[in-house]
Amino acid sequence: MSHIHIISSEVLDLSTINTIVTEHKQLKLSEDSKTKIENCRNYLDEKIKNQDQPIYGINTGFGSLCDVKITKENLTKLQENLVMSHACGIGERVPNEIVKLMLFLKIQSLSYGHSGVQLQTVERLIDFYNNDILPIIYTQGSLGASGDLAPLAHLALPLISKGEVFYDGEIYQSSEVLKKFGYESITLKSKEGLALLNGTQFMSAYGIHLLIKSYKLSYFADLIGSISLDAFDGRIEPFNALVHLVRPHNGQIKTAERIREFLEGSELISREKAHVQDPYSYRCMPQVHGATKDTLEFVRKVFKTEINSVTDNPNIFIEEDEIISGGNFHGQPLALALDYLKIAMAELGNISERRIYQLISGLRGLPMFLVDNPGLNSGFMIPQYTAASIVSANKQLATPASIDSIVSSNGQEDHVSMGANAAVQCLDLVNNVQRILAIELFNASQAMFFRKPLISSRLIISFLESYNKDVHFVKEDEVFYSLIKKSVHFIDDFSIENDLLFD
């Protein structure tokens, strides 16, 4: 059973999801979850059978059409119309790994038994997940309130043999792939379309994906910053624990501790220095990187709460005999957290670019632009331009999306979170941070060659030996973009254990 994750009411955390994703685990419902789903569906069927009062989204229209009563014979048609009409996404495709997370998080939310879906609907979503049948979803269309309506409509379309899916490396009409697997279309019952479309799984999937990547990049920022510090002939004193214990922000303390560990045993860091202080981009890594770490912890708490929640509407409470229309689909907590994450990660890129600039400036015995015979060779002049360009782009992406709101649904949905826009912006921004750090690593590795015969710590030497198999020392000008791409891929492919990432 080690290759299977059981969907249950146990609290999901970032480490568990990272393990599920990296180990390609299959999903299976617990017996308790099956019972909760079936009991909720049976309750709803009985409720509809025995009363004619309007219940929002179950026997009424949606949004500003909430007062339009729908006859019992049209309840299935109502749900199918909802899924089809709301599939209005456009723009770029959502990356496959995020679509798969959307499936997982939607299954988890429906498994709590407050949504009124059929068991076979949830099990079909699990079939999609386990067989990598990934609905084609687009990045534009969600306002981040009323749920991620458009993206989740695209997620739901294949249940009724509509829309497209990505399978086995190609895009197919969903009906073709369903036929291949022998799946019949799901006949949606009352409320099911709304349960599938209401929810925050687009924002949540982006958030979880981004958090995992951001924790990895936070670790790399400390490691690459340590290499740059050593190559720049920096001082170790600003990382002394005493400095940080008198200003005990957790992230600050953790960053200083990591950098000391990374540099332990380095001949470079321990040699006598001619200079008294280092620039802020080196000396203040604990304070700057640490503030980002503390932000990551806040954002992690928000998303942990969200992915262990019921976020569709209305919510069904069997024991209390209540069906309540509320607003758990509203993405405001996620929108604010994603905007905060954007700002915090942009700062990692910002300070990294400043270290790049210092390394190429011809200071402390390093050659101008980190190359022999500068002038004939431009060396590492232009990689810094590239990093500066990306930093500038990130400043624009980091502008908060959550401060905006546009009225929709004829005034019924009059305040929205715009968290979906924040999520899409955040993915671009975090990918940009990886590129900046990859350029810093490219520069720091190059600079380290000019420090021989002095050597860095055993950990850094081992890391750079692995890196230099992909990205070699540059003796004279050559085509640089391929080396930068290799540096980006090196960070992508480098595996870090959960306990180092999330401790």
Phi and psi at 181, nearest 5°, equal: -90, 0
Active site residues: 56
CA 468 to chain centre: 29
Reading the block at residue 90, the tokens are 């456009």
Are 192 and 117 in contact by the 8 Å Cβ rule? The answer is yes
Task: Give the separation between CA 333 and CA 327, rounded to whole angstroms.
Answer: 12
Q: Which residues pair with 408 in a beta bridge?
A: 413
Confirm if 170 and 134 have CB atoms less than 8 A apart.
Answer: no
Is the distance from CB of 164 to CB of 177 less than 8 angstroms?
no
Query: Three-class SS of residue 322?
Result: strand
Contacts of 142 (CB under 8 A, 6+ apart): 89, 148, 149, 150, 151, 202, 203, 420
Cβ contacts of residue 178 below 8 Å, gap of 6+? Answer: 158, 161, 184, 185
Instruction: Give the residues across from 177 on adjacent strands.
Output: none
Nearest Cα to Cα of residue 69 among 59, 79, 82: 59
Contact residues for 316 (Cβ-Cβ < 8 A; gap 6+):
40, 43, 44, 113, 114, 115, 116, 322, 323
CA distances from 297 to 30, 202, 211, 339, 422 (A): 30, 21, 9, 14, 18
Cα 288 to its chain centre, rounded Å, is: 21
Q: How many whole angstroms separate alpha carbon 88 and alpha carbon 134? A: 17
Rounded to the nearest 5°, which phi and psi values hold at 130?
-65, -30
Tokens describing residue 417 = 């979170």
